[in-house]
Amino acid sequence: MNAFSLPTLNHSKIKLYPNPTSDFFQVSGIEGAATIIISDLHCFVQLKVQIIGDESIPVKTLRNGIYIAKIITASGMVERKLTKV
C-alpha cells in the first residue's frame, strides 16, 4: 500500500514538538511503526526516517525554514507544518 492510498487522519493525536525547533523534534501519539518524511515547500524530500512509537528526530542539519512533516502509519497519514529556526 502506498502513501496515496492511505486515509488522511485529520483529527489525529499525533503531535510534533517543540515547534519551532532548532535541533530536534519529538513525535508523540504514534502506536507501532511509522515513516516520517520531511519535505521542503518545493516538495523535495529532505529527511526520511523510520520510527517505532514516540521518538526524537534530529533536524540540526536542515536549513532554517518551513517544512512539511508527513507521518505515515498503518492506520493512515497525517501532515504537520514544522518550522526549523
pLDDT of residue 2: 53
The residue extents of the domains of the chain are: 3-84
Rounded to whole angstroms, how far apart are CA atoms 2 and 7?
A: 11
pTM of the model: 0.86
Beta-carbon contacts of residue 77 (< 8 Å; ≥ 6 apart): 3, 6, 7, 8, 9, 70, 71
Contact 79, 37 (CB under 8 A): no
For the domain with range 3-84, which CATH number is right: 3.90.420.10, 1.10.3720.10, 2.60.40.3080, 3.30.300.130? 2.60.40.3080
Beta-carbon contacts of residue 5 (< 8 Å; ≥ 6 apart): none
pLDDT of residue 13: 85
Per-residue confidence in pLDDT tens, the chain, 85 aa: 455 567 776 557 889 999 999 999 999 988 889 999 999 999 999 999 999 988 899 999 999 999 999 999 888 899 999 999 9
